[in-house]
Structure 1
Amino acid sequence: MDHALAYTAGVLAMVVGIAVSIALHEVGHLVPAKRFGVRVTQYMVGFGPTLWSRRRGETEYGVKAIPLGGYIRMIGMFPPRPGTPAGMVGSASSNPIASMVEQARAESLEELRPGDEKRTFYGLSVPKKLVIMLGGPVMNLLIAVVLLTVVVSGFGVPTLTTQVQTVSRCVLPVDAPADAECSPSDPAAPAAAAGLRPGDTLLAIGGVPTPTWDAVSEQIRLSGGRRVDVRVERDGRELTLQATPIVADVIARDEDGLPVEEADGSFATVRAGFLGVSPVQATVRQPLTSVPGQVADAVVGTVGVVARLPQYMVGVGQAAFGGGERDPDGPVSVVGVGRFAGEVAALEDPAGEFGLRERVAQILAILAGLNVALFVFNLIPLLPLDGGHVAGALWEGTKKTWARARNLPDPGPVDVAKALPVAYGVAVVLLGMAVVLIYADVVNPIRLTG
């Protein structure tokens, strides 16, 4: 496929995936709202001018021009001002902030029709409010779970297997270049001396089964200086060879198997057993039981990014306007996500090892990561995010529980309208961040392919 055509196809696939994710997020709000009897006047994907809409029953369904989110409009999001009868608007105020709050409250109450008094959002119980507001983020989490299940257990993930790909002929210094050749003075590698060959599958080392490459590495490291049996499968039959892994300087690795870097950028080393084999990497389907761990890791990683978002945004601003380097682990906009998908779809692969199957799996993994980000980000307890409404409902529940415990009158719904100035401020900040991220992803993007 032509490079430009493949890139465009990847971007379009991601655009569709994002649109579906947004639409389903709003479905997560819409279904329980209607189930609990709240009148929903609008269900919209996007913001700004309406491109298309159709009314079904009492709800207008549509698509808007700016695909950066979506919303459902429920009547009675804000309760009447305390002391004001339901359906009535409070008096005007000379305070501009108070006037802004009352204007928003008035616009919310204008939608009430006779008989709607029991169909408002503010009139719901706390548990029902929580179900509605958590419905959207939970929907994104479910999408991520489904996508990761398809990727991990359907397509499989690149995994280091126990099959031997290469056998070193000699032992080279740990800092030797990748293309270094063996010299007559270099000692023979233990694997070559033992008769190991490419294609052998390592079954056990020193009598300890090695079902994974991590297990192989662990046994090799522990066997330095000792003669051990190495049981392998070769051409359908099992063989037992004897090898003596030497004790040498090897690259230190963390608990995830990644090289440990020193402060100067070099790799840390440790003294451990060395055999002289490297594994075959293959795409291996993982059991369904591995999916929860994958999802948990994704959520924890995303929480870390969100917690450091102000710090990351400083770096993004410097990269966008000062030419600095982008942090590859930092946030990106929808433009950046689209570029990722385009790069994956158009990746050149002369060896033919990254085919359509691998490209689809990678794009689905990117979309899963985006849905995890939507889940985490929307739970931030600030309006206008879903987490802000969740926080308001929890505060309402706390107040009502306290009142019941002390035999006090029901305090009624929490007046979320009072937090609107904060919501507008947060919205401005989020919009500013989105603009900076989009600009950075255009002029100085993070590239998956370097």
Structure 2
Amino acid sequence: MANLLGIVLFALGICLTVALHEAGHMLTARAFGMRVRRFFIGFGPTLWSFKKNETEYGVAALPLGGFCDIAGMTAQDEFITEEERPYVMYKKPWWQRIIVLSGGVAVNIILGFMILFVVAQTAGLPNPNADTRPVVDQVTCSADQLDNGELGTCTGVGAGGEAGIEQGDRLLTFNGEELESFQQLR
């Protein structure tokens, strides 16, 4: 059940990022006076929609993406009405068209940094000033095998035996060399 919930939440997260990406295109297009006909999440048959001003907002049956239909994205757009003609995209200056096309990418970059920020605030970041030298987590006794095939008994002081290693000890040196990390000990 937890796996199914994870899959559903992941799919909803993807749909949300697609919606935000397409909103980046839509908002920049509107800022430059372009007509946005439709703003949909998904493709295929419409499941639900409503119209506000000249834009139809909706959800389609196949949640595999989304789209923002801007009137006259190219001069080959066959469905431009006389009412839309002053607001078509291809008649706007080149720099406005570039900004509209880059609007979704800009939203993705901003969203990526926001996600990294939230992860850093909730899960934490590595502390470069922390002591990363290895700490003994568990001490077990390993007995030698005797000549008759049986295991001998552990001897020495504490679970660490004659070495005197105990749980929680921080290893500072090994064979006379100072340790800086567990990888160096390994």
TM norm structure 2: 0.73
Partner in structure 2 of residue 246 of structure 1 = 175
Partner in structure 1 of residue 109 of structure 2 = 141
> Which of 108, 111, 126 is the matching residue for 2:94?
126
Matched, 1:67 2:36: no
Q: What is the Cα deviation at residue 130 of structure 1?
A: 1.3
Distance across 1 between alignment mates of 2:49 and 2:138: 66
Matched, 1:57 2:66: no
Identity %: 32
Matched, 1:44 2:12: no
TM norm structure 1: 0.32
Partner in structure 1 of residue 82 of structure 2 = 113
Provide closer, same or farther for how the CA distance between residues 181 and 43 of structure 1 changes in structure 2, counting only shifts above 3 A.
same
For 1:130-279, list aligned pairs within 5 A.
Answer: 130-156=98-124, 162=132, 164-166=134-136, 181=142, 197-200=166-169, 243=173, 245-246=174-175, 273=177, 278=182
Distance across 2 between alignment mates of 1:134 and 1:156: 32
Q: What is the Cα deviation at residue 136 of structure 1?
A: 0.7
Q: What is the Cα deviation at residue 147 of structure 1?
A: 1.1
Residue 118 of structure 1: SS of its match in structure 2? Answer: helix
- The structure number with the bigger radius of gyration is 2
* Coordinate RMSD, CA, aligned: 3.6
Residue 38 of structure 2: SS of its match in structure 1? Answer: strand
Question: C-alpha deviations, 1:79-138, integer Å up to 9, x for none?
Answer: 2xxxxxxxxxxxxxxxxxxxxxxxxx2xx2432324x43311111112211111111122
Residue 154 of structure 1: SS of its match in structure 2? Answer: helix
Higher relative contact order (CA 8 A, sep 6+): 1
Partner in structure 1 of residue 9 of structure 2 = 13
- Consecutive unaligned residues of structure 2, counting only runs of 5 or more, are 146-160
Partner in structure 2 of residue 25 of structure 1 = 21
Paired residue type of 1:152: A
Residue 77 of structure 1: SS of its match in structure 2? Answer: coil
Bigger fraction of residues in helix: 1
Preserved CA contact (<8 Å) 1:163 1:200: no
Distance across 2 between alignment mates of 1:43 and 1:14: 22
Q: What is the Cα deviation at residue 163 of structure 1?
A: 6.4
Distance across 1 between alignment mates of 2:99 and 2:164: 63
Distance across 1 between alignment mates of 2:143 and 2:113: 48
Segments of 4+ moved more than 3 angstroms: 157-161, 179-184, 192-198
Q: What is the Cα deviation at residue 196 of structure 1?
A: 6.6
- Consecutive unaligned residues of structure 1, counting only runs of 5 or more, are 80-104, 170-178, 185-191, 203-229, 231-242, 248-272, 280-450
